[in-house]
């Protein structure tokens, strides 16, 4: 395995030891894999290497893109405060798994829903999900969350929106194997095996593996733009039968509040899972208990003494209306070892310094890594992940516990993912959306 070979090599060679952990760098090159420079084998020494990988990934994915879609070497992330990003030019899954199983293309313009056509001015994005269930007219909901948890609603009664995109590598595999349609999936000979990313012995990217990104967006006021990465988008709610409401489309400014990045790599057949949140999202459980609260959060009202915490909004969920219920969300501690929080905090500090060094107004310094989940023993089906539980408060809001097989664990849950036929889909739920 890569990291053992590297350690062996490290002990044999005399030249200067690589930095442990390796540095977070301002680079548009997406890391092909984790670069483990730790010289002893333990979670305490390895976790920082993975968290560095996550930040380098975050920086590269959020780098302003060149015309070819890769990060533009002539620009730097955040140099003007905010910027368009590489990952926002990845393909949205709703434009891959098309009605009738039609063949998608990487670059075709996104179809604009009817309800949005009157509003659409130019190439606006469409951001649709209201919760973990994507309710598009023709497709049975795709995201298999356990027990249909629920949406997360901000302090203005507005539903948070989600978007799932995949990079060209992942898209190409889907296309080449006709996995974009039910018929194609039926005809496919297993196993599904997305391309694995890799690095050389110096940590330089050789191959960018399959990457999937899940983003969470909150409607923000123009005045708040300085604190968020934001876009002007078409916020679309497809018509729903039950609960019953018509399609609705609005043009809104939305700010990024949560970002998941899953990357299949050579060292991680169970993929590497990085998750980031906006720094203003929520207090931690410890903050609440000690009374150490900020004036304001994206998903928590410090002034409400009676609001029940981490409670799913009551049904019916109607994203076309302003909700009386506001989510009161707290980050629960899921970590059983101190290193996870400590490493994330240290990397966050380093990364934020780096980003602010580019521009003190960089919106990107308002994001923090929660942690990186990685398989400590890839030979097992679950890979014995570290940490044992990990949740993003905007994306796995209601399963922030520490109960095996139920509380949020990226790998445990994604291990159950299949195509529309019950064939394992290599840790992604996107293939279930095929029609």
Partner 1 sequence: MTRTVPPAIPILDSDIQDFADMSAALTGFQSSVLKPALDPVGLAREYYVFAVQQVGESAMATLVNAYRAIKTQPAQQIADTLLETSGASPSSQAQLAQSIVAMWYLGSWYVPGVLGGGGFAPPPLQVISSAAYTNGLAWRVMQSHPMGYSQFTFGYWSQAPGPLSSFGVNTGNGGGGQ
Partner 2 sequence: MSKNVPQYDVVIVGAGVSGNLIAKELGLAGKKVLILEAGLEVPDSREEYMENFYLALAKTPEAPYPALAGRQGSQVNPVGVLPDPSTLPTPRATVLSLGQSPKTSYLVQQQPFAALHPQDPKPQNPPADDKGNVRGLQFSSTFERNGGGTSWHWLGTSLRELENDIRMQTKYQHAVDWPITYTELQELWALAEAEIGVAASTAQQEPLEVVGLQYPPGYQYPMQAIPMSMVDQAVSNGVAGLQVPGTLPDTPGGGDPTLYDVFVTPTPAGRNSEPYDDRRVCAGNTNCIPICPIQAKWDPTVTLGKALDTGNVTMSYQSVAYNVAVDGQGDTQNATRIDYYEWSRDASGAISKVSKSVTGKVYVLACHAIENAKLLLLSNNWKGIANISNQVGRNLMDHPLYLTWALAPQPIFGYRGPLATSGIESLRDGEFRKYRASFRMEIGNEGWNFSKGDPYTTTMDFIQGTNNSNVNPPPGGSGQPVRLGGLKLVQQLNNIFTRQFRIACMFDQTPLAENLVKLDLDEKTGKPNNVDGLGLPRPKVEYGLDPYTMEGFRMAAYVCTKVYEQMGATEFTTNGVGGTGDFTYQGKNYHYYGAGHVVGTHVMGPEQKSSVVDASQRSHDVQNLWIVGSGSFPTVCTANPTLTLLGLAFKSAKSILASLGS
Binding interface with partner 2 (CB under 8 A): 133, 140-150, 242-244, 310-312, 314-317, 398-399, 401, 403-407, 415-418, 420-422, 432
- Token pair in block for residue 176: 């080449």
Is position 405 an interface residue for partner 1 (rule: CB under 8 A)?
yes
Locus of tokens 């090599």: 9
Tell me the sheet residues that pair with 248.
237
Cα(first)–Cα(last) distance of the chain, in Å?
38
- Beta carbon nearer to partner 1, 243 or 381: 381
Indicate the burial class of 337 (C-beta count within 10 angstroms; 0-12, 13-18, 19 or more): middle
* CA 343/CA 351 separation, integer angstroms: 12
- Scanning 178-186, 240-248, 306-314, 412-420 for contacts with partner 1 by CB under 8 A, the matching segment is 412-420
- Beta carbon nearer to partner 2, 106 or 325: 325
Give CA separation, 153 vs 68, 82, 97, 336, in Å. Answer: 36, 25, 27, 29
Is position 178 an interface residue for partner 1 (rule: CB under 8 A)?
no
- Give the contacts of 225 (CB within 8 A, at least 6 positions apart): 82, 253, 255
Residue 404: CB minimum distance to partner 1, A: 5
Is position 403 an interface residue for partner 1 (rule: CB under 8 A)?
yes
Indicate the burial class of 382 (C-beta count within 10 angstroms; 0-12, 13-18, 19 or more): middle
Indicate which of partner 2, partner 1, none lies near residue 148 (CB less than 5 to 8 Å, by partner kind): partner 2
Among 26, 337, 342, 346, binds partner 1 (CB under 8 A): 337
Among 9, 41, 293, 304, binds partner 1 (CB under 8 A): 41
Is position 301 an interface residue for partner 1 (rule: CB under 8 A)?
no
- Beta carbon nearer to partner 1, 356 or 423: 423
> Would you give the binding string for partner 1 spanning residues 352-391, x where CB under 8 A is met?
------------------------xx-xxxx-xxxxx---
Q: Is the dihedral of CA 145, 56, 340, 290 positive or negative?
A: negative
- Beta carbon nearer to partner 1, 157 or 269: 269
Residue 147, Cβ neighbours under 10 Å: how many? 9
Indicate which of partner 2, partner 1, none lies near residue 316 (CB less than 5 to 8 Å, by partner kind): partner 2
- Beta carbon nearer to partner 1, 190 or 246: 190
Nearest of 433, 427, 405 to residue 133 by alpha carbon = 433
Q: Is the dihedral of CA 418, 419, 422, 425 positive or negative?
A: negative
Indicate which of partner 1, partner 2, none lies near residue 386 (CB less than 5 to 8 Å, by partner kind): partner 1
- Per CB under 8 A, residues contacting partner 1 are 41-43, 46, 336-337, 376-377, 379-382, 384-388, 402-405, 415-416, 418, 422, 424
């Amino acid at each position: 395995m890569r990291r053992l070979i590297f350690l062996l090599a490290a002990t044999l060679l005399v030249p200067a030891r690589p930095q442990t952990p390796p540095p977070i760098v301002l680079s548009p090159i997406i890391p092909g894999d984790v670069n483990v420079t730790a010289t002893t084998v333990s979670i305490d020494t390895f976790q920082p290497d993975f968290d560095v990988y996550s930040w380098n990934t975050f920086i590269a994915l959020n780098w302003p893109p060149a015309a070819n879609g890769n990060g533009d070497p002539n620009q730097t992330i955040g140099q003007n405060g905010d910027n368009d990003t590489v990952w926002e030019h990845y393909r949205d899954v709703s434009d891959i798994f098309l009605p009738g199983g039609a063949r998608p293309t990487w670059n075709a313009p996104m179809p604009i829903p009817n309800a949005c056509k009157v509003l659409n001015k130019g190439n606006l994005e469409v951001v649709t999900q209201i919760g973990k269930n994507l309710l598009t007219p023709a497709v049975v909901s795709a995201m298999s969350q356990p027990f249909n948890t629920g949406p997360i609603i901000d302090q203005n009664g507005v539903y948070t929106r989600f978007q799932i995109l995949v990079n060209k590598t992942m898209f190409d595999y889907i296309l080449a194997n006709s996995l974009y349609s039910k018929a194609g999936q039926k005809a496919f000979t297993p196993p599904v095996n997305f391309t694995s990313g890799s690095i050389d012995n110096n940590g330089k990217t050789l191959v960018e593996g399959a990457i999937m990104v899940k983003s969470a967006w909150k409607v923000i006021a123009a005045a708040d733009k300085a604190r968020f990465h934001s876009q002007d988008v078409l916020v679309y709610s497809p018509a729903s039968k039950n609960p019953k409401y018509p399609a609705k489309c609005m043009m809104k400014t939305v700010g990024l509040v949560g970002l998941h990045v899953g990357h299949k790599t050579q060292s991680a057949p169970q993929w590497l899972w990085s998750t980031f949140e906006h720094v203003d999202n929520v207090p931690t459980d410890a903050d609440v208990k000690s009374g150490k609260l900020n004036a304001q959060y994206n998903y928590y009202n410090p002034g409400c003494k009676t609001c029940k915490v981490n409670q799913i909004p009551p049904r019916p969920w109607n994203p076309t209306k302003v909700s009386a219920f506001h989510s009161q969300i707290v980050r629960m501690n899921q970590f059983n070892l101190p290193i996870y929080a400590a490493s994330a905090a240290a990397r966050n500090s380093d990364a934020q310094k780096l980003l602010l060094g580019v521009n003190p107004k960089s919106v990107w310094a308002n994001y923090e890594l929660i942690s990186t989940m990685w398989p400590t023993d890839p030979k097992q089906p679950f890979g014995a992940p570290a940490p044992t539980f990990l949740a993003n408060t905007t994306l796995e809001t209601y399963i922030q516990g520490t109960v095996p097989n139920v509380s949020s664990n990226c790998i445990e849950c994604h291990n159950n993912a299949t195509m529309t036929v019950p064939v394992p889909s290599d840790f992604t739920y996107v293939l279930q959306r095929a029609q």
